[in-house]
Structure 1
Amino acid sequence: MTQSFDAAVAAFRPRLPLAVALSGGADSTALLLACAARWPGQVVAFHVHHGLQAAADGFEQHCVALCERLGIPLWVRRVDARHAAGQSPEDAARQVRYKAFEALALDCQAQAAIKTIALAQHADDQVETLLLALSRGAGVAGLAAMPAQWQRAGMDWCRPLLRVAGADVRAWLVARDERWVEDPTNADERFTRNRIRRQLLPALQQAFPQFRDTFARSCEHAAQASELLQELAAADAAAIGQPPRIAALRALGRARQANVLRHWLRVHHATTPTAAQLNELLDQLAACATRGHRIHLKVGGGYVVREAEVLGWYNQQVLVPISARDGGAPEQLLQ
């Protein structure tokens, strides 16, 4: 169920010391204020300067002034968050930001060994993330949206406000006459997330007033389904071996083949296939009933190939040995 801001903070039980990711916006400003009041002397702030817009210097100045007023240590890291060709700007900034938080935690260890990093995403952010995932045809892992808690780099990462409506966070600040900075890009509807926030959320509020609660339940169901699929994939991966044996793969149904192949590529080769690439790989596996059928497909960030009776993966064009019993030449350039 949706929580009030105060109830969410009261329910938050982080391991201390705690670092709050502070952008200078309303959400992170409110979270820092509440955490600093609840755990005096146990809270620091992390600010990442993305360098993507002129207003970024103003964000940092707000964070410096706020932390000076509260007597809270502020750690700042400047990064280059420009996205690569074909990469979404939001994804690029998020990946750089998380790495920066990890680096900041290492930087301040001499002062305090940070146990928890708190992020200020709220219920509206969760709804936006779910709608974005739906618009992209995501599977259950994507539909699980943002987790409330996880571990990374030896620390707990928490989102204590995921059940709090964005308007409630701002109302909490206004009631205390606290100020924050507004990111000017939040009004730019060229970004899909901003169109969702400005156009869809008001319509959902009118049509389904409880949408934050019901959408959150759907995210929880998807997260449970994703966890079960991961457990099944791990069990199937142990059964088919590493590298995967083709005969063992073919003994599974197509859905389980897809699940374990995604697991294999993600865990062992740090790559993710597109839906089209995975479907083509499954079709090629089905065709392995024909003696001598070869597989050499572009999948994720590399190539999946058939090597005798197993699947191999290469991250670049290579000379792939072909089994003599498959009727091929001794080697073949993978294109």
Structure 2
Amino acid sequence: MTQPFDAAIQAFAPALPLAVGLSGGADSTALLLACARRWPGQVRAIHVHHGLQAAADGFEHHCVALCQDLNVPLAIRRLDARPAPGQSPEDAARQARYKALDAVALGRQAPEAIKSIALAQHADDQVETVLLALSRGAGVAGLAAMPAQWERSGLQWHRPLLQVSAADVRNWLRAQGHSWVEDPTNTDERFTRNRIRAQLLPALEAAFPAFRDTFARSASNAAQAAELLDELALDDAQVVGTPPAIQLLQRLGRARQANVLRHWLRTQHQTTPAAAQLHELLGQVAACTTRGHRIHIKVGRGFVVRSGLHLDWYSHQVLLP
């Protein structure tokens, strides 16, 4: 019988050459090993040294030794991933990591150009992401969690292990006789993900043994719903215009107004309104029935204001006449 890990690798069909994001942990070590065996000579590894903890040097040494053993070229990027004020350490590290992966992959010249990047998040990671989204009151885009594949900057990105549990990944790696580096922060329950992993996942396992599969289906359903909402927002944006005309917005139902405004703010201004901010903005749009009605609301990282017959957004506070 084919094991879940082997089945996932057999189903994985990336464009080659392929780069694997290699942290040195069990998941990325297993993914690199499996890909290097399946596509010899077509796989590269990229390791990002975040510079955030003393153990990071040990991760790098493991990656160097592993890639030498597999005869896989390794690119190492060292960076300062300390968070900005108000930014979580996890978010800062994630954003810095993606930038580093992009830089390495896009920096290669043909015929060595990397066409795909594989990341090693697994089914447990997906469950944690869904639970985090639920705890924050996320909409369908947040509940869609992590996509299995997407394109960005001309690269194909893949997460081939999203249907494989953490235990199955480690069992497979042990069977190959390979070791990995355990991040000491993984047991630090000051981090929300670690509390979920230590406290919630065992309870879910006991109550709902198939929870990984059912959570994955829910995330997939949410992703489809989010795609439909994006398509509807594109259609409505054609009607209300960019920036949106207030009177045309008022002809839409409240839910469609919210959807197209979120789309406008995200795509045109790279900002996301909080639920309370969007609620206030919708109320002001509904009340805007006279020439003198003013709108000036903090939304996302800036301000939505009325500008004549339209809404506009500024990254700074503006003085209204």
Range of TM-score over shorter length: over 0.9
1:107 paired to 2:113:
no
CA distance in 1, matches of 2:316, 2:206: 52
Higher-Rg member (1/2): 1
Partner of 2:167: 167
1:66 paired to 2:66:
yes
Partner of 1:216: 216
Q: Provide the alpha-carbon RMSD of the alignment.
A: 1.3
- Which consecutive unaligned segments of at least 5 residues does structure 2 have? none
CA distance in 1, matches of 2:263, 2:121: 28
> Is the Cα–Cα contact under 8 Å of residues 3 and 163 in structure 1 kept in the other structure?
no
1:148 paired to 2:148:
yes
CA distance in 2, matches of 1:176, 1:52: 30
Amino acid at match of 1:148: A
1:291 Cα deviation after fit = 4.4
| Secondary structure of the structure 1 residue equivalent to 2:288 | helix
- Which consecutive unaligned segments of at least 5 residues does structure 1 have? 321-330
Deviations 1:255-286 (A, max 9, x none): 11100000001111111111111111011111
> Is the Cα–Cα contact under 8 Å of residues 117 and 157 in structure 1 kept in the other structure?
yes
Amino acid at match of 1:203: A
Partner of 1:177: 177
CA distance in 2, matches of 1:273, 1:88: 18
Partner of 1:326: none
TM-score (norm 1): 0.93
| Secondary structure of the structure 2 residue equivalent to 1:109 | coil
Partner of 1:297: 297
Please identify, of 50-59 and 288-297, the stretch whose mean Cα deviation from structure 2 is larger. Answer: 288-297
1:229 Cα deviation after fit = 0.3
1:111 Cα deviation after fit = 6.2
TM-score (norm 2): 0.97
Amino acid at match of 2:10: A
Partner of 1:201: 201
CA distance in 2, matches of 1:56, 1:182: 11
1:109 Cα deviation after fit = 2.9
Distance 1:3 1:83, change over 3 A: farther
Deviations 1:115-141 (A, max 9, x none): 000000000000000001001110000
User: How many residue pairs end up in the alignment?
Assistant: 320
CA distance in 2, matches of 1:34, 1:100: 23
Partner of 1:251: 251
Amino acid at match of 1:293: H
Partner of 2:279: 279
Amino-acid identity (%):
74
Amino acid at match of 2:137: G
Partner of 1:327: none
Amino acid at match of 1:223: A
| Secondary structure of the structure 1 residue equivalent to 2:109 | helix
